[in-house]
Amino acid sequence: MALVNCTECNKEVSDKAQSCPNCGNPMATGEIQSDVVSPPSIKENQKACPYCGNPVFKDATKCNNCTGDLPFCPKCNETVAVNEKNKFVGVARGGTQKVWHCKNCGKKLHGPDCFIATAAYGSTLASEIDHLRYWRDHVLRRIILGELFIEVYYLMSPSIARIISGSNFLRLVTRLVLYIPLQIIKTLNKTPQ
């Protein structure tokens, strides 16, 4: 196995990978390998790597062959390939952060969170948080006042979220306060990705 640079993102990838695990770009092998007769057999406790097709254990987080990251998607209930993007999250949070979405279902698996809503609902996987993220990314980020709100929110919300997460009463109050805005956002969002 040799490492080659992806033509799209210029990151190192196994020469055996069918696509880049970082950006999904198809990898051109340039030659047909005649010594490859059939794909490797996959055992009961394994699955095929979504990038290169080689067997990986079902709970693996990285493919040993193509070195692709395989995070776990709770919606698909398996390790999956991801679409990775760098997302601007504001100067207060360091500029950009990596965001991973499941290639199968689109569920966000890693990246910046809605601190207060996460504290109120107790999990980053709550559907309410998906709606708030969608609203932040597709509405607020497109207007100057929305960007300003996000900057202030990222500055203040971590300390507020710590207080909320420590009290069941404050978690309930926060969910009640978010209820009507969430109903409006859900109606306007239709179907968040």
Backbone angles phi, psi at 89, to 5 degrees: -120, 10
Q: How many degrees, rounded to 5, is the angle at CA 177 between CA 176 and CA 181?
A: 110
Rg of the Cα trace of the chain? Answer: 20
pLDDT at 30: 45
Tokens of 108: 């966000």
pLDDT digits (tens, 9 = 90+) for 25-82: 776 654 434 444 455 677 777 777 767 778 877 767 777 777 766 777 767 777 677 7
Query: With 90 as the cut, is the pLDDT of residue 169 above it?
Result: yes
pLDDT at 35: 45
Closest CA to 54 of 15, 3, 103, 96: 15
Q: DSSP 3-state assignment of 6?
A: coil
Better pLDDT: 35 or 175: 175
Which residues does 38 contact at the CB level (< 8 Å), separation at least 6?
none
Better pLDDT: 184 or 110: 184
Q: Are the C-beta atoms of 132 and 124 separated by less than 8 Å?
A: no
CA distance 66 to 189: 37
Q: How many degrees, rounded to 5, is the angle at CA 158 between CA 155 and CA 164?
A: 135
pLDDT digits (tens, 9 = 90+) for 123-166: 777 788 888 888 887 888 888 898 888 888 878 888 888 888 88
pLDDT at 97: 65
pLDDT at 177: 94
CA distance 143 to 29: 44
pLDDT digits (tens, 9 = 90+) for 94-114: 566 677 777 887 776 666 566
pLDDT at 111: 63
